[in-house]
Structure formats: C-alpha cells, structure tokens
Structure 1
Amino acid sequence: SIENGKFKVRVRYGTSSTWGNFGGESFVVDCPARMPNLATYSPTVSTTKSRVAFAAHRVEHFVMKRIRYYQNGDLVQFDPTDRQVYPPQE
C-alpha cells in the first residue's frame, strides 16, 4: 500500500528453516513512495529489485508466492504465481 507518502509491504506467511514461521500483521517494512498509487504496479519490478543482501550462502531460495491487490481495504485481485527471486533466474 501507499500511505502518507510511504510504500508499505507486509509479509504475512514467511517461513525459514532458521527462523521458523514469521510475518503477520506487525511485520511491515516501509520506504518513501516514488508514485502516488499502485495503479501501475508490476510484480516483475518487485522480483527484479529484491535480493538477498546478507548471508546469501545460507539462503536456499527466496520466492514471492502470492500477490494480493486491495483497494480501499477490499481484496480485488489475487495472483498465486510463484516468482523466484533467489537464486536469480538465468
């Protein structure tokens, strides 16, 4: 979502062999938004710009599993396509 000029991303159902399950309502990351809304959002941008920045030798894979599109708090679209982030597709 974009709220008050900030782009917010929530991880709901993350899982890790080290951390176990993580995410939920309070697992939110934000950064300054470069656009007023997400009308032109593409999951390809997220997979292209995402990376494993620390201890990549410990990461087997990083996959975006589900994308949900909300408008005014209502789910308007669901995309269950798996998108591999790491290791990068060749």
Structure 2
Amino acid sequence: MSDAPQGQPQPPASAAPSAETLKAAYKAFKRRLKLTQLDDASRIGRGPMSAGHGSSIAGITPPDQYPTSVWEELVKQGKLKRAGQGLYSPAG
C-alpha cells in the first residue's frame, strides 16, 4: 500500500505555461515560419531570370516540442491566430 491518499486531486494538466516557455515557443514558431517561407520561395522550378515570388505560406504546424496549451495561450495573448486544421499564423 502506498502512503499517498487515493482521493487527492492531481494538479490540472492545463495549467498556464510560464512566461519563459511562451517566449521560447513563440521564438521557435517564428523561426520555423521563416525557414518554411524561405524554403517555399527558393524552390526549384522558377525561371533563372524571373524576379521570383514571395512565399505563399501563411500558416504552419507549430513545433511539436511544446504542448497545444502553449499555442492556445499565445492565441489568447494575440500573438498568434488559428489558421485552421491545426495550423497557426502570426497575428501581426
């Protein structure tokens, strides 16, 4: 038998993420978005003499090393917005 009482509630899994976690997650999101956009803009198949085109990437799947609660908190803070189907985009 364990010493811990069986009826004790566990702390909620959806506790608000720390400010440091939010900052690191937002930085990781911006980095991934930038790399995804650069990759899209530099893809092969465009003419060598063309002016090129900007990226058409508007939203990305956020880095999976952070839980969904972190991304939802960033949406609440107005830093990100939902782009649908698990995608997020910068709010500004």
**TM-score in terms of structure 1 length:** 0.28
Which one has a larger percent strand, Structure 1 or Structure 2? 1
Which one has a larger percent helix, Structure 1 or Structure 2? 2
Structure number with larger C-alpha Rg: 2
